[in-house]
Amino acid sequence: MKWDKVREQYPNSWVVFDSLEEHEENNILYVKDIAIIEVFNDLNDAYKLYRTLHRQDKNRKLSLGDTRKTSLEYEIKRIGLVR
């Protein structure tokens, strides 16, 4: 589902989702298409589910989204290698 449709269908909500389509540009990850797992009114409840699912599978492209935001963009912080 595209983010603008999610925002339209679930205004003022927190969404736990899997990223289906995303791309990176200038250290920013842009999420274009998602699969909704669950929708919440409260951030704490959304985070509890996110944390539980993340612990079960750390390789899953799982995220939280706030439908008050017009786009899904995440800054990517890189950690340098130490010898």
69, pLDDT greater than 80: yes
Mean pLDDT value across the chain: 93
pLDDT digits (tens, 9 = 90+) for 17-43: 999 999 999 999 999 999 999 999 999
Q: Would you kindly state where each structural domain of the chain is located, as residue ranges?
A: 3-75
- Cα(13)–Cα(15) distance, integer angstroms: 6
Compute the distance between CA of residue 21 and CA of residue 16 in angstroms, rounded to an integer.
Answer: 15
Of the chain, the end-to-end C-alpha distance in Å amounts to 43
